[in-house]
Chains A and B, each alone.
Chain A
Amino acid sequence: MERWTKWLGWLLLVGMILNLYFIFIYAPIEKTMGAVQKIFYFHVPSAFAAFLAFFVVAVYSALFLLKRNYFYDRISYASAEIGIIFTTIVLVTGPIWAKPTWNTWWSWDPRLTTTLILWFIYVGYLVLRDFTGEDERGARFAAVFAIVGFVDVPIVYFSIRWWRTIHPEPVLMGGEDSGLHPQMLFALLFSLAVFLLFYFYLLFTRLRLEKARMEINEMKKAIALQER
C-alpha cells in the first residue's frame, strides 16, 4: 500500500496542476457571474468527495459491527475525518460564491442545509470518538452512530426540501446544471476526478499512519503478553 500511495501522490500532483490549468485558463469565464464562478470547480467536486467519504464511513461501520475487524473501523474513522474536511470546504466556498451571485451569504436551500446538518452529524461522530478513547467500545459506539446518521441524511434532505417548497424560495437558484459550456463541463469533470483521487490519497495516507500506530500497539501487546 505504501508504494501505491506514493504513486498516487505523484499522480495527484500532476493532476492538480493540470486541474488548475483547466479551471483558470481552459474553461471560459462565465458571462453573468464572472471570475467568481471558478469556485464552482472546487465547490461541487468537494461535495462529491464528502458524500463518497460518508458513504464509506457507513459501509465500513456496518462491516465492522458484523466482522469485528478493526481495519474496517480505522477506514471509517479516517474517512469521517476526511469527509469533514471536504464538507467544510463546501460550506466555506458556498457562501463566498453565493454572496456576489445571489447577494446573500446563506440560503436555507435543501442542499445547503442538508450539507450543514451532515457536517454536524459527522462532527458529532468525531467528538464521540474523542470522548470514548481508543478502546473497542469507542469503535462500536461510533459505528452505531454512523449508521443511524447515514440513514438520516436522505430523510433530512426530503424534510428540508418539503419545508422550502411550502415557503417561497428566498433567492433564485442559479442554474448550475443548465446548459453548461462543454469546456466548463470538461473542467468540472476533470476537477471531480482529481478531488476523488485526492480523497483516496488522504485516506491511504491516514490509514498508513494508523497502521503504524497499530503496529506499535501490537508490539506493546505482545510484550505485555510475554511478561511474566
Chain B
Amino acid sequence: MSYLGKIFAIAYKDLLHEYRSRETITTMMIFSFLVVVIFNFTFDPGSSYALEAAPGIIWVAFTFSGMLGLNRSFIYEIDKGCFHGLLLSPIDRGAIYLGKMIGNIIFMTLVELLTLPLFIILFNLQFSDFLLPLLLIIFLATIGFAAVGTLFSAIAVNTKAREIMLPILLFPVVVPVILSAVNATGGLLRSDDWNQVFAWVRILLAFDVIFVAICYATFEYVVEE
C-alpha cells in the first residue's frame, strides 16, 4: 500500500465509522439548521438586513458545526484506544494527519452542501448564477478550517477541557478564512466585480497552502509521547 493509499485508508475508515454510527454528521446538521433558524429571528422577515447578514450567518453555521465535527474526530479514537493502534502502525505521522484532515474535510463539506439549500430557501437568495464559484469558496474555506482544526483537535483532546479548548484555539487563527469566506460569499450575492471576489479566493488559497504544510510538519510533535 502506497503512502497515498494509507492516507485514504484512514479517511475511508473515518467515513465508514461515521456511516455506521451517524453520530457526528447528524449533530452537525441539526446544529447548522438551528443556527439558520435562530438567526432568522433577529430580523424582520424580508428585511434587507437579512440579505446583508446572510453570508455571515452561513459561515457562522458552517464553522460552528464544523467545530463539532472536529471535536469528535479524535475523541472517538482516543476513547477506544484506537489512536495508539494508528501510532503503532508503520506509517508516517504526517500521513495520519492528512488522513484525518481529509476525513474532516469530507464531513464538513457534506454538511455544508446539505445545509446550503436551506439557506437559499430561507433567505431567498439568488445563487443560481454563481453556484460554481460559491462551491469553490466553500471548498477552499473548508480545507483551511479543517487543516488547522485537525491539528488543534489532536491537541485539544489531550487537554483537561477537551471540547472547550478547541474553539478558543481555533477561531482566532482561522480569522482570515472566515473573513475571506464571508466577504467572498457576500461579493457573489451582491454580484460584485469578480476581481474583488477573486482577491478573497487568493487569500483562501494562500492560507490553505501555508497551513496544510505547517500543520503537516508539526503534527508529529503533537502525537509523540
Contacts and interface: CB of A to CB of B under 8 A. Distances in A.
A and B touch in the complex (CB under 8 A): yes
B168 to A, nearest CB: 5
Interface string B196-225: 100110010011001100110010011011
Given A121-B172, A124-B168, A141-B222, A160 B160 contact: no
A169 interface: no
B40 interface: no
A132 B152 CA distance: 13
B27 interface: no
Nearest to B203: A159
Contact of B165 (A123, A127, A158, A163): A127
Contacts of A162: 199-200, 203
Chain A interface residue number, banded: 20 to 34
Contact of A145 (B169, B171, B200, B211): B169
A112 interface: no
Contacts of B183: 163, 166
Given A124-B172, A148-B148, A141 B214 contact: no
Interface in A139-182: 140-141, 143-145, 147-149, 151-152, 155-156, 158-160, 162-163, 166
21 contacts: A117-B172, A120-B171, A120-B172, A124-B169, A124-B172, A127-B168, A132-B159, A133-B160, A144-B155, A145-B152, A148-B148, A148-B215, A149-B172, A152-B173, A155-B207, A156-B175, A159-B175, A159-B179, A159-B180, A160-B175, A163-B179
Interface of B: 148, 151-152, 155, 158-161, 165, 168-169, 171-173, 175-176, 179-180, 183, 196, 199-200, 203, 206-207, 210-211, 214-215, 218, 221-222, 224-225
